[in-house]
Chain A
Amino acid sequence: MSEVKLKLGIPGKYEERVVTLPEGEPKPYDADSKLSVVGSRHPRLDGFAKVTGQAKYAHDIRLPDMLYAALLSCPHPHARVKSLDTSAAENMPGVKAVVAAADQHVRFAGQYVAAVAAETLEQAERACRAIKVDYEPLPFVVDLEEARQPGAPKVFDNRDSNVRAADPTERGNLAEGFAAADAVVEATYKTQVQTHACMETHGLVAHWEAPDKLKVWSSTQGTFAARDNLARRFELGAENVEVITEYMGGGFGSKLGLRDFESAAVELARKAGRPVHLMVDRKFEHLSTGNRPNSVQVMKAGCTKDGKVTAWQVDSYGTSGIGGGAGVANPSVYDFPAVRKTSADVYTNAGPGCPMRAPGHPQGIFAVESMMDELAYKIGMDPVEFRRKNNSHPIRDAEFELGMKAIGWERRNQTPGAGPGPLHRGIGVASGRWSNVGERRNSRIQVRVAIHPDGGVEVENGAQDLGTGTRTIVGLLAAEELGLPVEALTVKIGHTSYPYGPASGGSSTAPGLAPTVRKAALLARRRLFEVVAPALQAQPEQLECRDGKITVVSDPGKTMDWKRACGLLGTTPINELATRSDNFDGWQAEAAGVQFAEVEVDVETGRVRVLKVVVVQDCGTVLDRLTAESQVIGAVIQGISYALLEDRILDRTTGVMVNPNLEQYKIAGSWDMPEIEAIMYDAAIGYNNAGVNGLGEPPVTPTAAAIANAVYNAAGLRMRELPITPWRVLAADAARRGGRS
């Protein structure tokens, strides 16, 4: 154990912290760290593979003798499978194996009931249609409000009702809070169901190399989770299951577990004795692979005329289909002295929700930040000033300053909706949050760094890259520690034969891996220095390596290039495996982030165009400024898409999704793009030796709220329901003009 003094915080708010670190731990990054590679704008290491089409995704795996699988799903939202006859399908051309789902009680339209493997995908699809299923349709409900009513058809027979309420939470004195309020706003906010709609659909290629040895190429966010799930499901030792995910086409939370239909493909491969390729089609992807649950948030909040929120009350409910987890992050972002919250999951006969990029947050923060806006306008206070009065997060406060400057906050409308003509422009603001500085203790994450006698360096970890740039940050961190250009390293990821890596959920990948990469690289470098030191007539701790040269710090004339130094290893490579250390104390574990949106609203057509978004986002140490900005920009775009377009639409009377495609499930495209200015806000936060907070989630959390607030500032129309479509804007405008809404 050793004590280290760190300078943590942000400009103007630095603090000295003394932290205790285990032996061998690299000195954590802090405000005084001089980094050359980490924090630069480095193009992603797998760019070449991706732009040439050489990158192999699970979908692209082609093995000798490989079969293709297709799924049969149930058209009914609720039914019992009375009988399922696969005999005709089994005799169809090319068909090699058929399996039926274990669960004969189908609870949503689109649920998988059987799978076929055949020589071609077309043969498998045709055979699926030849499977004769006799369904007993059961009463169902897909509408959130309908499902809450007493007497509604029950999704699960063994429950009293479809409503599963969480324990209410209460802190502070709500009655006193409202009594102290000068202004009170009551409003109900609603958000829709959003699907992940990954470009690469779910699926895998399963290959039984021996009766007890399974190899799977999976489009997964968690190679090791997939491995462990497969091992359990097929009763194999984890060492006999290999999962490979060198590239994957997006997950956003939906590819964290092994799905029943994926197991079916593995089962088909076992039955047929041949590799099986299953990638689900777009319709199935929308219906069955997860979604962000919808929400209704019934709210009442009050504040004083000088801008302090005194009471906050929210009753929320939403449906995650047959799944759970429809809770929302409300309250969130700000600190309120008195809060009362109730929430409930409502079961419906719809595909199960699952984590989606900041679960609960975009929906919760849409309500939180809309309500903050309503309160601010009600007391006539600058919406940013109002927020700052209720904010205790130092980074967020600084980010507001930067964001106001970048967007030109003073240009906003002093009177929302004022001005002649149909086109109105305005600016809105919202802030987000997330927190993930990595597992606090007892992490299983390991990284191996090998230095070979020929000078080659390998960095290995089995985690996957969702497209966030994991491969690249691993390379940058190792290069920084070793004093080498990134190009000199080989980064190997996405394979369970490499050391254990985290599943990419909750923005955990970077804070999990980054400190471990540093540690492994440092260990390897120390070993090399021990070998090299005698040749340079120095002690190992007197050496440093920069730009591929090992030098005695006090005597720069004594130097040796990397390759020669490695040559001194003889025939024994350095091979260091590091395990992630426990977190230590830090300065600020929560990421903030603020967004300002400028929009143009045509109040006659209801069209909302986002013109500009300024996003100021922190994540502790910025590891690669280029890919970090990309991730932030991408999150904003998903937020725009959520705010204005996306909606999973179920036909209420049949329970069938009517837009299970990429044509009528509308995802923002090129013409929907505003100018997006991404400002990465550097902060020295501690907690792990790389000072890294997760970045995937936080920037998606406030975008919809910022847009809705901008629509209000522009047109004077308060949009309390997502998506903000032309018909909703027109209805709001009609209501304002005294017409019917």
Chain B
Amino acid sequence: MGDPEERERKEEGLRLSRRGFLGVSGAAVGVLALPTAAQEKALAESGIKAKVIGPAAVPISLKVNGKSYNIKVDTDTTLLSALRDHLQLTGTKPACGRGACGACTVHVSGKPMCSCMMLAVDAADQDILTIEGLAKGQVLHPIQAAFVEFDALQCGFCTPGMIMAVKALLDANPEPSDEEIREAVAGNVCRCGTYPRVFQAARAAARRMKSARVLPEGGRL
């Protein structure tokens, strides 16, 4: 059994915490901040060269799947939220909110990133690729097709992130080893347990993408 005195001390601590002990409580700190223009002026007066963004919502342009979208976001809006809540591109999934599960993986300037751990304002004007940007109409990308064929999905909630992680791998490394495939999806959690099928699908997709590249010139498999 724990020491009652110690327990009381720790419990008291919890209460303090909830009373705003850390200074992070209900009142939005940002509300007290000066508007952009005032801050720009203050900076100019003090001789600091800096661009001021926010604290009020700012207009940005997001280039998603080859299309530009002009939206207004808060400075603390994540790319994930911008995609899902502003652009209604809900193929990218939220699951852990902390970059620990990879469900929200998208490509930013060609690199796989956790969109839940990236600010939308930081993603502005960069090329963003989401799961919605892979298929051409009814024609699946070879990775997507392989995921379906090898049943590399069950509930499907982690699947968009898995596919984007595999795509990033194959874009950079068309002939990955089994170890490289494992590492490529090491940041993606699947609760249904599809990993072995994901490995299979990734290998098959790599083979097929290679043949597709070889065929036009070589003319044979």
A48 to B159, CA, bound (A): 11
| Contact status B191-A197, CB under 8 Å | yes
State how many angstroms separate the Cβ of A546 from the closest Cβ of chain B. 25
Inter-chain contacts of B160 with A (CB < 8 A): 51, 53
CA A281 to CA B95, docked complex, whole Å:
8
Interface presence of B91 (CB below 8 A): yes
B147 touches A51 (CB 8 A): yes
Using Cβ atoms and an 8 Å threshold, which residues of chain A touch B94? Answer: 59, 279
Excluding A122-B74, A250-B191, A469-B154, 16 further A-B contacts by CB distance (< 8 Å) are: A44-B148, A47-B151, A50-B153, A51-B163, A52-B131, A52-B134, A53-B90, A54-B132, A137-B15, A198-B191, A199-B155, A633-B194, A652-B2, A653-B6, A662-B100, A670-B198
A467 to nearest B CB, angstroms? 3
Going nearest first, the 9 A-B pairs with the smallest beta carbon separation are: A53-B91, A467-B155, A130-B26, A637-B193, A249-B157, A634-B193, A50-B156, A47-B148, A60-B90
Complex Cα spacing A446 to B96, Å: 37
Query: What residues of chain B lie closer than 8 Å to A282, measured between beta carbons?
Result: 95-98
B26 near A127 with CB under 8 A, answer yes
Report A-chain residues with C-beta under 8 Å of the C-beta of B27: 130
B residues neighboring A (CB under 8 Å): 1-2, 6-7, 10-11, 13-15, 17-18, 24-28, 74, 76-77, 81, 84-85, 88-98, 100-101, 103, 130-132, 134-135, 140, 144, 147-149, 151, 153-160, 163, 181-183, 185-186, 188-199
> Does the CB pair B10–A46 fall under 8 Å?
no
Q: Which of B2, B26, B157 has the most CB of A within 10 A?
A: B157
A178 → B minimal CB distance (Å) = 35
> Is A667 in contact with B191, judged by CB distance below 8 angstroms?
yes
Q: What are 6 A-B contacts with C-beta separation under 8 Å?
A: A59-B93, A281-B97, A630-B194, A634-B194, A653-B7, A670-B195
Q: Is the CB of B91 within 8 A of A92?
A: no
Given contacts A44-B151, A199-B95, A635-B193, contact A55 B11 (CB under 8 A): no
- Quick one: closest B residue to A472, CB to CB? B151
The interface residues of chain B lying within 8 Å CB-to-CB of A671 are: 182-183, 186
Q: Which residue of B lies closest to A629 (CB)?
A: B151
* Cβ–Cβ contact B2 & A43, under 8 A: no
Q: How far is the CA of A279 from the CA of B190 in the complex (A)?
A: 19
Interface size class of A (residues with CB under 8 A): 35 or more
Does chain B have a CB within 8 A of A735? Answer: no
A631 located at the interface, meaning its Cβ lies under 8 Å from any Cβ of chain B in the complex: yes
Asked if A654 and B100 sit within 8 Å, CB to CB, the answer is: no
Tell me the minimal C-beta distance from B57 to chain A in angstroms.
Answer: 11
Q: Are A146 and B92 in contact (CB-based, < 8 A)?
A: no
Once the chains are docked, how many angstroms separate the CA of A156 from the CA of B132?
A: 51
B103 touches A661 (CB 8 A): no
A627 at the interface (CB under 8 A from B): yes
Report A535 CB to chain B, min CB distance, Å. 35
Q: How far is the CB of B25 from chain A (nearest CB, A)?
A: 6
Q: Which residues of A contact B (CB under 8 A)?
A: 43-44, 46-48, 50-57, 59-60, 62, 75-76, 88-89, 92, 120-122, 126-127, 129-131, 133, 135, 137, 146, 149, 196-201, 247-250, 252, 279, 281-282, 466-469, 626-627, 629-631, 633-638, 651-654, 656, 661-663, 667-671, 673, 675-676
Q: Cβ of A630 and Cβ of B132 under 8 Å apart?
A: no
Q: Are B26 and A92 in contact (CB under 8 A)?
A: yes
A637 contacts across to B, CB distance below 8 A: 193, 195-196
Bound-state CA distance A385–B26 (Å) is: 65
List residues of chain B with CB within 8 A of the CB of A630. 151, 154, 194, 197
Chain A residues closer than 8 Å to B157, beta-carbon distance = 57, 198-200, 249-250
- Of all chain A residues, which has the CB nearest B9? A653
A466→B155 contact, CB < 8 A: yes
Task: List B contacts of A636 (CB < 8 A).
Answer: 193
- Considering the chains assembled together, what is the distance between the CA atoms of A627 and B151 in angstroms? 7
Bound-complex Cα distance A54 to B195 (A): 22
**Which of A279, A638, A661 lies in contact with B193, CB distance below 8 A?**
A638
CB closest residue in chain B, given A130? B26
A669/B148 in contact, CB under 8 A: no
CB neighbours (8 Å) of B151 from chain A are 43-44, 47, 626-627, 629-630
Residues of B within 8 A of A47 (CB): 147-148, 151, 153
Instruction: Report chain A residues within 8 Å CB of B96.
Output: 282, 661-663
Which chain B residues border A196 with CB–CB below 8 Å?
Answer: 191
Contact B101 A199 (CB under 8 A): yes
With the chains together, A130 CA to B6 CA distance in Å? Answer: 30
Q: Is the CB of A62 within 8 A of B159?
A: no
Out of A247, A252, A652, A673, which one reaches B156, CB within 8 Å? A247
Report the minimum CB–CB distance from A125 to chain B (whole Å): 10
Shortest CB-to-CB span from A219 to chain B, Å, is 9
